[in-house]
Amino acid sequence: MAVIVLPQATPGAAGVEITPVTLTATDTFTFRNSGRTRLVIRHGTPASVAVDNAVTVITPGKAAPNLAIADYARPIPAGKVVVIAGLENNVFGDGALVSFTAAGTDVATMTAYALD
């Protein structure tokens, strides 16, 4: 299992091109989070095909010293682009890094990148 850093761009930056990373079910993906960063995930399977894919954003933060916060699981519907925002550093990131994993029947059709 590898840790893969997502490409990241700032919207409106002239001449910036971003190549999304293809997701896998065996790796962990990370990106730098400013608190304004959005995770963009595209599910490339046509919407007419019923599939069960999701990403899980890992939450190392705690609500109290001995009270863990549950990870955030988000379904990714076929044929859709999902934007996940509002990832507070104190909940979703170890410092300024956020990690997530992907799972489902056709994960290889999903791509992701981060926008700050």
The per-residue pLDDT for 47 is: 78
pLDDT tens, residue order, the chain (116 aa): 788 988 888 766 666 778 899 999 999 999 998 888 999 999 988 877 777 799 999 998 888 888 989 999 999 999 999 999 988 888 887 668 899 999 998 899 999 999 88
Whether 78 is covered by a domain: the verdict is yes
The answer to pTM > 0.85 is yes
Which tokens hold the place of 57?
């954003």
Give the Cα separation of 55 and 74 in Å (integer). 5
DSSP, collapsed to helix, strand or coil, labels residue 107 as helix
Predicted local distance difference test score (pLDDT) of residue 12: 67
Give the model's pLDDT for residue 21.
Answer: 94
- Give dist(CA 26, CA 107) in Å, integer: 10
Question: Is residue 65 in some structural domain?
Answer: yes
Total tally of structural domains belonging to the chain: 1
pLDDT at 34: 86
Assigned domain for 15 exists: no
CB atoms within 10 A of CB 12: 6
DSSP string, 47-97: TTS---EEEEE----EEETTEEPPPEEEE--TT-EEEE----HHHHEETTE
CATH number at residue 29: 2.60.290
Q: What angle do CA 88, 36, 73 make, to 5 degrees?
A: 50
